[in-house]
């Protein structure tokens, strides 16, 4: 079982509704969804199955159809696990930003804070979505009060090209403090570029918007 920190209901609904009905039974089996849920899904593909059952089915569909990659070589959909610093536990109407680094790869995940577990609120009360790349740079330009001060005062322009964008993301990621949470995630790629960090090393910058983020106890890849 996963201990979820973030589940994007908006992405989940959008993707689930696009799965061809004939594929649902096969995907439910692959995702090891409960047999009662499987029966419901087969008889009425758009039935009100639980959020986590639909998430399992959507994840199986993405793995089957989109060749989900690892975060260090991100394809349109990628997964990973690493220590994440999280900003944005303030207003559920605002953004959330999660970032971590593994070797020469920095991952930045951007989404809407109301998808954080424990901050759920009625969808019709949310007036903005933060899962698109332009929103990321608007919030870096006018960051919430609980985000690093020097970034709120920076007032940077929206970047004109990927290299500048990657630099801004890295600068903000390196400014975050506080204890990280080891997590695993599945995300849609928004940007992949390079930038030079505070240590003078060039790093790959991967920006995505997550379908989910869950707590993880350890790096399971190292057990293989």
Q: What is the pLDDT of residues 12-32, one digit of tens each?
A: 999 999 998 888 878 877 776
Q: How confident is the model at residue 49 (pLDDT cuts 50, 70, 90)?
A: confident
Q: What CA–CA distance (Å, rounded) separates 22 from 14?
A: 18
Most confident of the following: 93-107, 129-143, 154-168: 93-107
Q: What CA–CA distance (Å, rounded) separates 198 from 179?
A: 20
Q: Which residue carries 């919430």 as its tokens?
A: 144
Q: What CA–CA distance (Å, rounded) separates 148 from 37?
A: 45
Please check the confidence at residue 153 and state whether its pLDDT lies above 60: no
Distance from chain centroid for Cα 149:
24
Q: With contact defined as beta carbons under 8 Å apart, do 11 and 53 qualify? A: no
What are the two backbone dihedrals, phi and then psi, of residue 91, each rounded to the nearest 5 degrees?
A: -70, 135
Please check the confidence at residue 56 and state whether its pLDDT lies above 60: yes
pLDDT tens sequence across 73-123: 999 999 999 999 988 755 666 778 899 999 999 999 998 888 887 655 555
């Amino acid at each position: 079982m996963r201990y979820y920190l973030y589940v994007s209901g908006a992405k989940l609904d959008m993707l689930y509704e696009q799965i061809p009905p004939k594929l649902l039974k096969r995907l439910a089996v692959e995702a090891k969804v409960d047999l009662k849920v499987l029966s419901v899904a087969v008889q009425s593909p758009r039935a009100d199955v639980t959020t986590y059952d639909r998430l399992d089915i959507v994840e199986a569909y993405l793995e089957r159809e989109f060749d989900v990659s690892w975060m260090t070589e991100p394809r349109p959909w990628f997964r990973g696990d690493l220590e994440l610093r999280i900003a944005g536990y303030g207003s559920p109407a605002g953004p959330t930003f999660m970032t971590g680094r593994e070797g020469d790869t920095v991952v930045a995940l951007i989404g809407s804070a109301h998808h954080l577990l424990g901050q759920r609120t009625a969808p019709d009360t949310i007036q903005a979505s933060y899962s698109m790349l332009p929103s990321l740079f608007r919030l870096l330009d006018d960051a919430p009060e609980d985000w690093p001060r020097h970034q709120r005062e920076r007032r940077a322009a929206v970047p004109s090209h990927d290299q500048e964008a990657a630099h801004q993301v890295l600068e903000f990621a390196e400014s975050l403090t506080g204890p990280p949470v080891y997590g695993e995630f599945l995300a849609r790629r928004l940007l992949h570029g390079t930038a030079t960090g505070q240590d003078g090393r060039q790093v790959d910058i991967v920006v995505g918007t997550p379908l989910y983020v869950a707590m993880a106890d350890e790096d399971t890849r190292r057990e293989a």
